[in-house]
């Protein structure tokens, strides 16, 4: 997800997403990596 995309970040958090890491991607930009909970 693009860190500047506030709508995507808000939706990810609303769905229970949590930041698990910050990684450098091949395009040279560091981004947060989220994990979403598994459905029951």
Cα–chain center distance at 21: 9
Residue found by looking up tokens 């395009």 in the block = 27
Render pLDDT for 2-39 as a digit per residue (tens, 0 to 9): 678 999 999 999 999 999 999 999 999 999 999 999 88
pLDDT number for residue 1? 58
Helix (H) or strand (E) run with residue 7 in it: helix 6-14
Supply angle C-alpha 10, 6, 4, rounded to 5.
140
For residue 40, pLDDT beyond 80: no
Domain boundaries, the chain: 6-35
Are the C-beta atoms of 31 and 22 separated by less than 8 Å? yes
């Amino acid at each position: 997800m693009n860190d500047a995309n506030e709508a995507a970040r808000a939706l990810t958090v609303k769905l229970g997403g949590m930041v698990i890491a910050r990684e450098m991607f091949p395009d040279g930009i560091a981004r947060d990596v989220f994990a979403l909970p598994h459905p029951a």
